[in-house]
Every structure is written in structure tokens, then in C-alpha cells.
């Protein structure tokens, strides 16, 4: 048994002539594919071809799903969307990073046409968001912060100090008293990471 790196769902593992499809795999068009996320195992069989199977890693089975509340970190912003890395699903940390996008029209529920991304998020912000779709070929999850409970939960000021929310759209640096615009989350206690 030789567990290797984690294989994504649907990865082509090998030709069906080289091995027999075991658990966690399927055969199509003469190739064996992974039918779940996990580690590839190849077992030699005395009767002939080795058996390939994909074994689900207990911690790798948690994936962001539509409707899940996720904690993410903003990586970059432009006028149309914010790019984020998803860090937690609920309160469970993810082993691998998933990329997400919060589009301008999904930032808040009202006056969507007046929303400006740079007045809502900044790179480095920690944001609570909800998964609204599993996204496109680049494996980007589409996220929304339209609900009151969703939005920025942790942001640092230019002085490097964690800012304090003072309204639904502003945070203030406790050291310099500078105010910054954000789409602030009205945080529910169950979502707070200690």
C-alpha cells in the first residue's frame, strides 16, 4: 500500500489495461478515474493486474457546499469582485485552500448598483460569507455577503491594529481613530473563531 498525494474528484488515474478499478474509482473510455477526493492506493494482486483504489482521507472529505457559511481571507480586489481563500467551513478548518469570488452584486442585499468593492473589503480582511454556487472551471466558489450576519469580521488598519466596527459600514482604528469603510458583519456568537 502506498498512499500518495490527495487526488481530486474525477482525476484520470491510469489506463484500465494497467490496473483493475477498486473502491473510490470508476472506469470510462478505457481509463480509471477517481470518484472521490482522497489518496490513491495501488495493491498488487497475485492473480494479475494491480487494483487501484482511492481512499477518502477522514479530514479531506469536508468541502464547501452551497448554503454553507465559510470564513475566508480576502486576497485581492478589483471594481467587479473580491478574490478570497476559504479557510473554514462553519468552525472546521480546511486542510487545503479553496478559492472563492464575491461579486459586486453579491456584497449586500440592498442598493446593489451603488456597491463599491473597495469600500466593502480590503486584502487581508477576514470575511464571513455564504456559498451560493460551486462556481466555474477555475474551481472558484461564488460567495455572498448579502445577509446582515455576513461580511468583514476582522480587519487591520494601516497602523497594523485590529479595527473595531462602529456601524454596518465602518470600522475604526483604536490607535489612530481613522475610519475605514467596510461591509461589516453583524457577528452571531456561533461564528466567532476564538
In this structure, whether the domain defined by 6-55 belongs to CATH 3.90.1010.10 is answered with no
Q: pLDDT band at 44, cuts 50/70/90?
A: confident
Which residues partner with 108 through β-bridges? Answer: none
- Asked if pLDDT for residue 17 goes beyond 50, the answer is yes
Distances (CA, A) of 107 to 3, 41, 85, 101, 160: 42, 43, 16, 11, 25
**Mean pLDDT score, 140-167:** 93
CATH 2.40.50.140 in the chain is located at 68-187
Nearest Cα to Cα of residue 80 among 28, 115, 53, 110: 115
All CATH 2.40.50.100 domain ranges of the chain, comma separated, are 6-55
Q: Please give the average per-residue pLDDT across 53-57, as a whole number.
A: 75
Nearest partner of 133 among 96, 103, 95, judged by Cα:
103
Nearest to 151 by CA among 180, 181, 112, 108: 108
Cell numbers that stand for 28 in this block: 470510462
Question: pTM value?
Answer: 0.66
What pLDDT score was predicted for residue 41?
83
Q: What pLDDT score was predicted for residue 1?
A: 41
Residue 161 pLDDT exceeds 50: yes
Residues in the chain: 194
The domain made up of 68-187 has a fold known as: OB fold (Dihydrolipoamide Acetyltransferase, E2P) (2.40.50)
Amino acid at each position: 500500500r502506498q498512499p500518495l498525494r490527495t487526488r481530486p474528484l474525477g482525476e484520470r488515474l491510469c489506463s484500465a489495461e494497467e490496473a483493475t478499478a477498486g473502491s473510490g474509482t470508476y472506469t470510462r473510455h478505457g481509463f480509471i478515474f477517481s470518484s472521490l477526493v482522497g489518496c490513491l492506493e495501488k495493491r498488487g494482486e497475485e492473480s494479475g493486474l494491480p487494483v487501484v483504489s482511492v481512499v477518502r482521507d477522514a479530514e479531506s472529505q469536508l468541502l464547501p457546499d452551497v448554503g454553507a457559511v465559510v470564513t475566508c481571507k480576502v486576497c485581492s480586489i478589483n471594481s467587479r469582485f473580491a478574490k478570497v481563500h476559504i479557510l473554514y467551513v462553519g468552525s472546521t478548518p480546511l486542510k487545503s485552500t479553496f478559492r472563492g469570488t464575491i461579486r459586486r452584486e453579491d456584497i449586500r442585499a440592498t442598493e446593489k448598483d451603488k456597491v463599491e468593492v473597495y469600500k466593502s473589503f480590503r486584502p487581508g480582511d477576514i470575511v464571513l460569507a455564504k456559498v451560493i454556487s460551486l462556481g466555474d472551471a477555475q474551481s472558484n466558489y461564488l460567495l455572498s455577503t448579502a445577509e446582515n450576519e455576513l461580511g468583514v469580521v476582522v480587519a487591520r488598519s494601516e497602523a497594523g491594529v485590529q479595527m473595531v466596527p462602529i456601524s454596518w459600514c465602518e470600522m475604526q482604528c483604536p490607535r489612530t481613530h481613522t475610519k475605514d469603510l467596510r461591509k461589516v458583519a453583524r457577528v452571531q456568537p456561533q461564528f466567532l473563531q476564538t
